Amino acid sequence: MNPKRKQRLFIILGLVSGLGVAVGLVMYALSQNINLFFTPSQIAKGEAPPAQMIRVGGMVADGTVERDPRSLKVAFDVTDFDHNVRVTYEGILPDLFREGQGVVVQGRINQGQFVASEVLAKHDENYMPPEVTEALRQSGKLEQMMGGQKQ
Amino acid sequence: MIPEIGHFALVLAFGVSICLAVFPLYGYLTNQNGFCATAKPLALLQGLALAVSFGVLMYGFLAHDFSIKYVADNSNLDLPWYFRMSAVWGAHEGSLLLWALILGFWGVAVALFSRGIPDHMSALVLSVMGMIGVGFLAFMLFTSNPFVRILPFAPGNGADLNPLLQDPGLIFHPPMLYMGYVGLSVAFAFAMASLISGKLDATWARWSRPWTTVAWAFLTLGIALGSWWAYYELGWGGWWFWDPVENASLIPWLIATALMHSLAVTEKRGLFRSWTLLLAIAGFSLSLLGTFLVRSGVLNSVHAFANDPERGVFILGFLIVVIGGSLTLYALRASKVSEPGEFGWISRESFLLFNNLLLTVMAVSVLLGTLYPLFVDAIGGGKVSVGPPFFNAVFVPLTAILVSGMAFGPLAKWRQSDDPKLYRPLIVTLIVSVAVGLVWPSIFGGAYSIATAVGVTLALWIAIATGLDVVKKIALYGGISATFSRIEKGTIGMWLAHFGVGVMIFGVVMVENHTEHRDVRMGVGDSQRLGSYNVRMTDLAVINGPNYVADQATFQIYQAETLYKTVTPQKRRYNASGMVMTESAIDSGFTRDLYIAMGEPLGEGDWAVRLSVKPFVDWIWAGAFLMGLGGFVSITDKRYRKRIKEEKAEAAVEGATA
């Protein structure tokens, strides 16, 4: 092999093994850092792993939002109209958070309550997070919801 | 009547783009110069038709023509005129029209500024751009026409622009970003043209280099503006969220950065030719993929407003044609590319190869993380989301490695560069950056952070190395003005951009590790400490804006006992849509931003309030600005304005020496 070919071979080998290692590391990092999504019904059935970071989506149930009078603590129910999950959160809620609105919360289950570290509501009020749509479809309540919506 | 003119102009542009796609290519293949010569006039006509179409839509917004459905959906009688102008690209149809307009603009630019390029080559480039135009205009006309009307019963008032977009950020961010996204189509078109013609020598690299650089500069500024907008308008003070749509702009940026560097090797040394072609194809394909992700709503993101699966299918189809077609051509032609010349294990070529390798791996890992939820969902693995921890875990170490190497590249010589003397300035750089980096967290105060020490060391490493390179060149040329008039403008651009990377890293490291951030409950008369300041809420009032009603809090910021500043964040409720928006109050400074935003009312006159001190946050965007500026400086170099004659003479010389 002439030196030029040899160099090219080494570069290609380096590239392939570098990319291989990188993809492997990325896949490992992915498996460590993904957040699985659960519906309130799945949580009620105990399908969600405790103490692991997960996401739950549904509607904020009417009349369930309670605020602590002295701090920023707040609690509310997320529902797919079959089951409810009690969520506690401390901090500022997004602007579009309100009762009857679709929401996705991220956090951990702790002693039967869902302790949220993040509450996501979307920036467009006609927009429903896909996870929430999915949760409502699974509980068979999507049609009912859509009937009441603008679109 | 007037909207029909816009619609007609759009149809005309579509027709012209078909001609532009077909005639010059046909002329090239059959060797008929007459057909080739149609390319430039057609590109100008296409640009003109798109400008008319765009102008008509803007006129519709300014004149409150609610018979245009798009205007009715996105405007309102109370919307101020400057937001009515930017509302043109505030939603799907209009943003596509902006995309098409910018494609037309780039076509005009290529037609006007390609005098240094042989006619058959510019004809091929414009033809490829015409093909892209056909795809996009067909997409608009068949699925997303902005000129659809509501007749005969036009509404009396519009539904209003999404309040999130009623911000100066929307005026500049999308056009800048699109200039970058679409600008990559020029680099793509040059690559395709050289593949079609089979002339894969180093000259195409010189032709496409300024276009790539300027597209990259726009993309840099566009992403930075988006990040800045997110910071003060919608992000509660965050500047980057690893949101899928942000990633969709970052991935092409990483590839474009790699492409710029690889083009340098191809132009100067004639190496990496097929790799450069591949990057040019990947850059534009990924910016199309970004458009697909944003516009189809397949990914859950803040940008996913309304979505429509049919549109997604169309763009996906277009994407497959573009990627499939270009890669097929690449596979047929690139194998014929020979790589003349060699380079040593330690040489500028090898450092740039290292740069390309890392940037590509970064792009691939961000792409994997972004698409992973789609992939898992598709194989029935359920809904998952990939959050910032993943991206940080992958991106940050790779950036650190990349920056470590960045100081070496500019010092190295082409071909062979293993003389240790060349790298001597780096010894000083290393000592100073490590020493200052280690001490810096203690000077700054607070708990000692190793992450800060490492990050600041890296920022200093690249900044000092760049500075020493500048000093060395000035000593070599004997004086500052002599240096800056004689040196290649690309080198000055490189200095600015590399220094900008250092500035940006410093900002990122300080914000990420030393932001002081508290959410508190406050009412009128309450005081809170904020860094070295005291913040006191003195008033709550209701303010009537042009198209909103706002709760406005007045905060007095005290430094020691003296009043430093009074700020007034707002919580707005927009009349037309009823949407609630947060207007933060930010006091920007060289070393820190004070950030105050109102959360929600908690009853009894109290509000949830977010207070933050963000050290050096503006350095992030200042660094990005320096990078963009570097790009614009680079393209002022004389050699990009060479005429064909000189080009030929040079090619002859190159041919003789090869």
Q: What is the pLDDT of residues B566-588, one digit of tens each?
A: 999 999 998 888 888 888 999 99
Which of A70, A69, A112, A59 has its CA nearest to residue A88? Answer: A112
In a domain, B634, yes or no: no
Pairwise CB contact (< 8 Å): A130 & B385 = no
Whether residue B90 sits in one domain with residue B109: yes
Whether residue B444 sits in one domain with residue B408: no
How many domains would you assign to chain B? 4
d(CA B617, nearest CA chain A) in Å: 22
Whether residue B148 sits in one domain with residue B202: no
| Cα–Cα distances in angstroms (integers) from residue B97 to residues A76, B158, B288, B304, B523, in the given order | 43, 20, 15, 18, 47
Give the residue from A92, A93, A126 with the most B CB atoms within 10 Å of its CB, the best one to mutate.
A92
Cβ contacts of B385 on chain A, cutoff 8 Å: 34-35, 37, 55, 106
d(CA A146, nearest CA chain B) in Å: 15
d(CA A34, nearest CA chain B) in Å: 5
d(CA B485, nearest CA chain A) in Å: 38
In a domain, B641, yes or no: no
Give the residue from B351, B366, B600 with the most A CB atoms within 10 Å of its CB, the best one to mutate.
B600
The beta-carbon neighbor of A127 closest among B305, B369, B581 is B305
Helix (H, G, I), strand (E, B) or coil at A57: strand
DSSP B360: H
Cβ contacts of A126 on chain B, cutoff 8 Å: 306
Show the CA angle centred on residue B311, arms to residues B283 and B109, nearest 5°.
45
Whether residue B160 sits in one domain with residue B69: yes
Pairwise CB contact (< 8 Å): A72 & B521 = yes
Whether residue B171 sits in one domain with residue B158: no
Q: Which of A117-121, B206-210, B315-319 has the highest mean pLDDT?
A: B206-210
Cβ atoms of B266 and B205 closer than 8 Å? yes
Tokens of B44: 């100008």
Rounded CA separation B333/B274 (Å): 9
Whether residue B365 sits in one domain with residue B246: yes
In a domain, B621, yes or no: no
Residue B467: which pLDDT band, with cuts at 50, 70 and 90?
very high
- Backbone φ and ψ of B436, nearest 5°: -65, -40
Pick the residue from chain B with its C-alpha nearest to A39: B383
DSSP B232: I
Give the residue from B254, B353, B361 with the most A CB atoms within 10 Å of its CB, the best one to mutate.
B361
pLDDT at residue B335 greater than cutoff 90: no
DSSP B593: E
Whether residue B180 sits in one domain with residue B108: no
Give percent of chain B with pLDDT exceeding 90. Answer: 60
Give residue A125's pLDDT: 52
Q: Which neighbouring-strand residues pair with A86?
A: A77
In a domain, B108, yes or no: yes
Pairwise CB contact (< 8 Å): A95 & B581 = yes
Helix (H, G, I), strand (E, B) or coil at B624: helix
Pick the residue from chain B with its C-alpha nearest to A96: B580
pTM of the full predicted structure?
0.92
Whether residue B389 sits in one domain with residue B262: yes
Q: Which of B164, B187, B222 is the last residue of a domain?
A: B164
Give residue B497's pLDDT: 97
Pairwise CB contact (< 8 Å): B520 & A124 = no
To the nearest whole number, what is the mean pLDDT of chain A? 80
d(CA B621, nearest CA chain A) in Å: 25
- Position of tokens 């003349």? B340
> Per-residue pLDDT tens for B208-240?
999 999 999 999 999 999 999 888 876 677 899
Give residue A148's pLDDT: 41
d(CA B288, nearest CA chain A) in Å: 23
Whether residue B365 sits in one domain with residue B232: yes
Asked which of A89-93, A146-150, B373-377, B486-490 is least confident by mean pLDDT, the reply is A146-150
Q: Which of B118, B141, B164 is the last residue of a domain?
A: B164
Give residue B162's pLDDT: 82
Cβ contacts of A22 on chain B, cutoff 8 Å: 361, 364-365
Pairwise CB contact (< 8 Å): B602 & A4 = no
Q: Which of B515, B535, B565 is the last residue of a domain?
A: B515
Cβ contacts of A130 on chain B, cutoff 8 Å: 300, 383
The beta-carbon neighbor of B304 closest among A67, A70, A127 is A127
Cβ contacts of B389 on chain A, cutoff 8 Å: 33
The beta-carbon neighbor of A30 closest among B300, B364, B369 is B369
Residues of A with CB under 8 A from a CB of B: 3-4, 7-8, 11, 15, 18-19, 22-23, 25-27, 29-30, 32-37, 55, 67, 69-72, 90-93, 95-97, 106, 122-127, 129-131, 134
Complete DSSP assignment for B10-38? HHHHHHHHHHHHHHHHHHHHTT-HHHHTT
Cβ atoms of A89 and A68 closer than 8 Å? no
Residue B538: which pLDDT band, with cuts at 50, 70 and 90?
very high
Whether residue B94 sits in one domain with residue B63: yes
Residue B251: which pLDDT band, with cuts at 50, 70 and 90?
very high
Pick the residue from chain A with its C-alpha nearest to B234: A123
Complete DSSP assignment for A82-112? S-EEEEEEESPPPTT--TTSEEEEEEEEETT
Q: Say how many CB pairs under 8 Å bridge A and B.
A: 118
In a domain, B650, yes or no: no
Give residue B60's pLDDT: 95
User: Between residues B454 and B640, which one has the greater pLDDT?
Assistant: B454
> Per-residue pLDDT tens for B96-119?
999 999 999 999 999 998 888 888
pLDDT at residue B370 greater than cutoff 80: yes
Rounded CA separation B272/B334 (Å): 11
In a domain, B620, yes or no: no
pLDDT at residue B83 greater than cutoff 50: yes
Dihedral, CA of residue B266, residue B269, residue B275 and residue B278, to nearest 10: 10
Whether residue B340 sits in one domain with residue B248: yes
* Number of C-beta neighbours around residue B138 at 10 A: 15
Does residue B446 come out as left (phi exceeding 0), alpha (psi in the -120 to 50 range) or beta? left
Give residue A149's pLDDT: 40
Give residue B199's pLDDT: 80
> Per-residue pLDDT tens for B64-79?
999 999 999 999 999 9
pLDDT at residue A147 greater than cutoff 70: no
> Per-residue pLDDT tens for A39-57?
888 888 888 888 788 888 8
Pairwise CB contact (< 8 Å): B353 & A11 = yes
Give the residue from B385, B526, B607 with the most A CB atoms within 10 Å of its CB, the best one to mutate.
B385
pLDDT at residue B86 greater than cutoff 80: yes
In a domain, B63, yes or no: yes
Pairwise CB contact (< 8 Å): A36 & B353 = no
Cβ contacts of A23 on chain B, cutoff 8 Å: 364-365, 368
**Structural domain range at position B595:** 524-615
Whether residue B86 sits in one domain with residue B132: yes
Cβ contacts of A8 on chain B, cutoff 8 Å: 339
To the nearest whole number, what is the mean pLDDT of chain B? 89
In a domain, B629, yes or no: no
Which of B105, B126, B130, B131 has its CA nearest to residue B114? Answer: B126
